[in-house]
Amino acid sequence: EDEAPVAAKPGLLDRLTGREPEEPRRVMDDAMLESLEELLIEADMGVDTATRVAANIAEGRMGRKIGATELKRALAAEVARIMEPVARPLPVYAKRPQVVLVVGVNGSGKTTTIGKLASQFKAAGKSVVIAAGDTFRAAAVEQLQIWGTRAGVPVLTAPEGSDPASLAFDALARAQADGADLLLIDTAGRLQNRADLMEELAKIVRVIRKKDETAPHNTLLVLDATTGQNAVMQVEIFRKIADVSGLVMTKLDGTAKGGVLVSLADKFGLPIHAIGVGEQIDDLAPFDPEDFARALVG
Ligand code: GDP
């Protein structure tokens, strides 16, 4: 394969500490604390989280000289500490079929993530059914069919423009009849008309509960790392319109380091079930707090 040399992503603290491991040795003072806060805000951590993280790092170090290595380690440790409690794979319940509703704005990577999840669970010996619930977007339905074929998983579709709740109901009936382990339901992501979307999601939930009153067992919100702090607003909105139980963050393979995940963990404490690290079917990884922290700090 043609491997282009990958330029190392610049480190988050380079501007503060220089790129040499120990230079310059600066005294941790108010000015340095402020610069640190600014860098963390620029890294999408949000003001509140950035302020808290910077303060925790400065604690016990004020007035002391601090080198780049120590600062990086301290930041990585602080980020990992915040992320540790939210790093949880998608729980698998004894309940069959486990119904997973997948929500998020269009373009966030819902369809791709469903394909990847289906493939992973299939490979782990689970039987999976996909419902192409974004019945208004023919392209999304087609895309899911392609993913389903690749993963070897049936994809249930409905005519364009038809009621997603009715498709979800039929899909659950099929999954139950087949004794499937997992039903993944795609949903629309048009935030332009929030009231409609809310009603659509509520109806899906209402209707599938006629077949299984404990469903959905998970509501996954898919977020795009390249949208930065915007993801915070998306979590706020989707928590109002659906009972979000966990997050997947996509596109962490690009230049976005996902600093927003730190503020999401700090603010909402929702589990991060997986991260998207590419466009291929195997490009879904468990969320590892230490790897994440190291990559973020650089
Ligand atoms: P949806 O509208 O939410 O269903 O989003 P899609 O699944 O169609 O994804 C939108 C675009 O993002 C597509 O071009 C995907 O290939 C791409 N994409 C999704 N996840 C990832 C990821 O983890 N990394 C990268 N680089 N691209 C992704």
DSSP 115: H
pLDDT at 2 over 80: no
What does pLDDT average to over the chain? 92
**In this predicted model, what pLDDT tens digit does every residue of 134-177 receive, in sequence order?**
999 999 999 999 999 999 999 999 999 999 999 999 999 999 99
pLDDT at 18 over 80: no
So what's the pLDDT on residue 215? 96
CA distance readout (Å), 195 to 198, 232, 238: 5, 20, 12
| Cβ neighbours around 203 below 10 Å, total | 16
pLDDT band at 1 (very low <50, low <70, confident <90, very high): very low
pLDDT at 286 over 90: yes
So what's the pLDDT on residue 192? 81
**In this predicted model, what pLDDT tens digit does every residue of 107-116 receive, in sequence order?**
999 999 999 9
What's the CA-to-centroid distance between 95 and ligand 1, angstroms? 30
Range name among 1-10, 28-37, 68-77, 148-157 with the lowest pLDDT average: 1-10
What's the complex ipTM?
0.99
So what's the pLDDT on residue 26? 84
pLDDT, average across residues 19-41: 85
* CB-based pocket (< 6 A), ligand 1: 104, 106-112, 140, 143, 189, 250-251, 253-254, 276-279, 283
Range name among 1-10, 40-49, 212-221 with the lowest pLDDT average: 1-10
So what's the pLDDT on residue 9? 63
pLDDT band at 24 (very low <50, low <70, confident <90, very high): low
Alpha-carbon distance of 296 to 79, in angstroms, equals 9
So what's the pLDDT on residue 146? 97
| Cβ neighbours around 29 below 10 Å, total | 13
What's the CA-to-centroid distance between 70 and ligand 1, angstroms? 37
pLDDT, average across residues 190-219: 93
In the annotated binding site, the residues are 104-111, 186-190, 250-253
pLDDT at 128 over 60: yes
**In this predicted model, what pLDDT tens digit does every residue of 247-276 receive, in sequence order?**
999 999 988 889 999 999 999 999 999 999
pLDDT at 103 over 80: yes
Bond from prior residue into 24 cis (ω within 30 degrees of 0): yes
CB 204 within 8 A of CB 84: no
Could you give phi then psi for residue 223, rounded to 5 degrees?
A: -125, 145
So what's the pLDDT on residue 22? 60
In the annotated binding site for GTP, the residues are 104-111, 186-190, 250-253
